[in-house]
Amino acid sequence: MARGESASKAKIIAATLDLLRAAGLAGAGINNIVAVSGAPKGSVYHFFPGGKHELVTAALRQAEGAVGEGFRTIFSGDAALPQKVLALFQATAERIEATGFTKGCPVAAVTLDIDDASEDLRPISDAAFATWRQIIASGLSDVPAAERNKVAQWILATLEGALILARAQTSADPLLETGELLALTLSRGSPPSRNGRDTRKRDSTRRSRERARS
């Protein structure tokens, strides 16, 4: 592909991604994509003969990679798990705040817009979430290996949910506050487990008794 062609294609994907982040499938009509990218309609169909779904697929795959890189930067570091979680939620809070709370996660937005006509996009969303979960899980060296996937899923679910509340409230508080609760929880011994809970209960009872005696 010539350099000019490649630049146009990149511009069209970037415009699609931007529209998906803002308004999901509702916002990413071909006419909007043409308007935002500045590319002629013919060139959109030239690069993406499959139309809107092919374009959305390309945009979501790009987001999977780019967002995944951000997750990797945070979770592959040497910081303790609570610090990684705080960094993730703080970075996400700054990112959405910078858009005036108008643009969130494109994969979440598309997932909630999938109906019979767009069912072919579901595996694309699923793959992106799976990649992100795996990147987070790889950075959970503080967590027993058997529990890493579930804890990673919990971190991702909390992040996605807090992003929705942040957009509705036009405030970063839901991200900062849930991130802090999650980080504190994970700093108390991660993950919580049935056994962990029972042990801690016994420990704390024992400590209370010791305090009462002393």
Q: How many residues bind its own copies (CB under 8 A)?
A: 61
Regarding 137 and contact with its own copies (CB under 8 A), the answer is: no
Does residue 108 belong to the site contacting its own copies (CB under 8 A)? yes
Q: Is 59 in the site for its own copies (CB under 8 A)?
A: no
Q: Would you count residue 97 as binding its own copies (CB under 8 A)?
A: no
Q: Binding to its own copies by residue 118, rule CB under 8 A?
A: yes
Q: Which member of 54, 97, 142, 177 binds its own copies (CB under 8 A)?
A: 177
Interaction mask 140-159, its own copies, x per CB under 8 A: ----------xx-xx-xxxx
14 is an interface residue for its own copies by CB under 8 A? no
Least distance in angstroms from the C-beta of 92 to its own copies: 12
Position 152, amino acid: A
Q: How far apart are CA 133 and CA 142, in angstroms?
A: 16
Cβ–Cβ contacts within 10 Å for residue 101, how many?
16
Interface contacts to its own copies, rule CB under 8 A:
22-27, 102, 104-105, 107-109, 111-115, 118, 122, 125-126, 129, 150-151, 153-154, 156-165, 167-170, 174, 177-178, 181-182, 184-185, 187-189, 191-194, 196-197, 200-201, 203-204, 207
